[in-house]
Structure 1
Amino acid sequence: MHLDWLEDFLTLAEERNFSRAAQRRNITQPAFGRRIRSLEQWVGATLFTRTTAGTALSPAGETFLGYVQVSVRDLYRARTSALEVADQTGAVLTVAATHALSFSFFPHWIVEHAPHEPINLKSDSLQACERMMQRGEASFLLSHHHQLLQTSLDTRDFLRVEIGSDLLVPICQPDGAGQPRWTLDQAEVPYLAYSPESGLGRILHADWAARGVKPPLATVLQSRLAAALLSMAVDGAGVAWVPLSLASSALAAGKITYAADETYRTEIAITLARPTTSLSKISEALWSVACGN
């Protein structure tokens, strides 16, 4: 049995599609399928079943999943801990951060809280950052968070502390008179949307559903990057909801303006998450500062 097989299994359990899972693992679909079958032979049970909607975990696969998630995460953490003891990593702080906060919040915050430590920043979508944390590839996750949205890290295996606040605000290009080119009282507004793997998009729609807010939107573009949506809004492609921390400079410069009043704003927290297991000395020191100790 190989560690690659377990990572293949976790990827297919997330994607529920052989083609997408093979693409994420950077191997051909036939080779990926052979590795899944090899794992099933090693386990002695069928782990996946074919359905009309794609691929689903079998009852045995559901049981196996819980153990594999913990095992793979602990293996990566064990390697990291061993390297830190051997001083082969140079005691680097490894932080996974969502794209929007990597651009706006992280640089100032990390300089204030860990100014002299070497930092390894891994920037990606929320979904990808959560995978890094689950597999022990980062000690911390910096992300936006909302109480209505349950994430894969909201378990007893992880801790979370709020370290800031932000707003998701609807913005668009101004017209020649400085007024919004589109407003949310129009019949149909071109919408620059987040793709499914984006945590911000999931937060936004959870908040709209909870408050009964239904803006009249027609999706014209999707991206997992708030910065990409902001750039498209600046160019006049439509209305986007982006973190105020990211949009503030463009708002101040008059490149964009608000497309609606405060009714359509979503309050979000900025949080730092970590595993409950012990971290390196410098990681524990950063956590202590983040918690106000």
Structure 2
Amino acid sequence: MELVWLEDFAALAEYGSFVRAAEARHVTQPAFSRRVRSLENWMGVELFIRTPQGATLTEAGKQMLPSAQEATRRLYRMRSEAQEVAGMAAKTLQFAATHSLSFTFFPRWLRGAEKGTPIEAVRLHSDSMVVCEQMLVQGQVQFLLCHRHPDVPPLLAPDQFVSKKIGEDVLVPLVGASAHFGSSAVSLPYLAYTQESGLGRIVAHRLQGKEDFLHLKPLFSSHLAAVLMSMALENKGVAWLPRSLTEQEVVDGRLVRALDESWDIALDIHLTRPLAPISPFAEAFWAGV
């Protein structure tokens, strides 16, 4: 048994695709498939039903998934505790944060969170929402920093994780100041988030059934808000972008509204942690947030 097998198992259960899960795990698809098969051989049962459309959990796989996730968290927690005892990781806070919050919000918020008591070490992992959620589930980080919307619950078991609201943000439909798509009801080039994006889940929920009304024509997609912002600055289309990321561009007049304020999407910014114990220093930090 290897820890990476359990991590691969959870990733494939999340993505339902060997190709996408292998990409998320930064390994080739053949190597990823071999590791999943090795876990199945060790367990002595098939964990996935394989079809041309992807992979779905068998009943045995569904039964095993929560236990595998908890075992992974415990192993990472055991490593962190051992390193703290040895003085190798004392007072280290480990965060996973979505890209859009890593750029501007996280540094400012962390300075305020110190409250006069300097934090000795911070490790920030910046990635898509899906990867960040996996890192928290697997115990690789103590905290997840992400956008939340009350109508779009996170893909985390509510009986295993708890969160605090630590800020607010808003998604605004923006275009480049020089963009000109006409005043008639013609197709509006649309810069969209991919499925891996937490913001993508929220925007998709808000626009469900309204794409035709807005005459949105998908042109480009990415899980990175910063990439969509760059495309909008190049006058390639409209994108729903976080105000926290685009404040300077709006002030400078390089990005302007594409739609009125009724299409804005109010967001909360949450810090999430496991209900299970984390390191003493991380517990103290959480208590003070």
Paired AA for residue 12 in structure 1: L
Question: What is the SS of the residue equivalent to 2:208?
Answer: helix
CA drift at 1:182: 4.2
Match of 1:112 in 2: 112
Deviates more, 1:20-29 or 1:233-242: 20-29
Match of 2:170 in 1: 167
Task: Map 1:148-159 to 2 at 5 A.
Answer: 148-159=151-162
CA drift at 1:24: 3.6
CA drift at 1:85: 2.2
CA deviation profile, 1:58-109 (whole Å, cap 9, x unmatched): 1111111121111111211121122122221132111111111111211111
Distance 1:27 1:242, change over 3 A: closer
CA drift at 1:185: 6.7
Task: Map 1:41-190 to 2 at 5 A.
Answer: 41-114=41-114, 116-117=118-119, 118-175=121-178, 181-182=180-181, 186-190=185-189
CA deviation profile, 1:188-234 (whole Å, cap 9, x unmatched): 10011111100001111112339999522111111111111111111
Distance 1:229 1:154, change over 3 A: same
Match of 2:227 in 1: 228
CA distance in 1 between counterparts of 2:255 and 2:135 reads 34
Distance 1:186 1:141, change over 3 A: same
Match of 1:198 in 2: 197
Question: What is the SS of the residue equivalent to 1:192?
Answer: strand
CA distance in 1 between counterparts of 2:17 and 2:211 reads 33
CA distance in 2 between counterparts of 1:247 and 1:185 reads 27
Identity of aligned residues (%): 42
Asked if the contact 2:170–2:266 (Cα under 8 Å) also holds between the matched residues in 1, the reply is yes
CA distance in 2 between counterparts of 1:213 and 1:79 reads 51
CA distance in 2 between counterparts of 1:83 and 1:285 reads 18
CA deviation profile, 1:216-254 (whole Å, cap 9, x unmatched): 211111111111111111111111110011111100001
CA distance in 1 between counterparts of 2:43 and 2:139 reads 24
Distance 1:31 1:172, change over 3 A: closer
Question: What is the SS of the residue equivalent to 1:196?
Answer: coil
Question: What is the SS of the residue equivalent to 1:67?
Answer: helix
Paired AA for residue 136 in structure 1: G
CA distance in 2 between counterparts of 1:268 and 1:210 reads 21
CA distance in 1 between counterparts of 2:152 and 2:241 reads 17
Asked if the contact 2:48–2:55 (Cα under 8 Å) also holds between the matched residues in 1, the reply is yes
Distance 1:62 1:102, change over 3 A: same
**CA RMSD, 1 decimal:** 2.2
Question: What is the SS of the residue equivalent to 1:119?
Answer: strand
Task: Map 1:26-45 to 2 at 5 A.
Answer: 26-45=26-45
CA drift at 1:148: 1.3
TM-score, structure 2 normalization = 0.91
Task: Map 1:210-289 to 2 at 5 A.
Answer: 214-289=213-288
- How many residues of Structure 1 are paired with residues of Structure 2 in the alignment? 286
CA drift at 1:30: 3.6
CA distance in 1 between counterparts of 2:93 and 2:227 reads 28
CA distance in 2 between counterparts of 1:141 and 1:113 reads 15
Distance 1:185 1:287, change over 3 A: farther
Deviates more, 1:216-225 or 1:2-11: 2-11
Question: What is the SS of the residue equivalent to 1:168?
Answer: strand
Distance 1:20 1:191, change over 3 A: same
CA drift at 1:184: 8.8
CA distance in 2 between counterparts of 1:98 and 1:26 reads 18
Asked if the contact 1:93–1:139 (Cα under 8 Å) also holds between the matched residues in 2, the reply is yes
Q: Give ranges in structure 2 of 5+ residues lacking alignment.
A: none
CA distance in 2 between counterparts of 1:206 and 1:282 reads 37
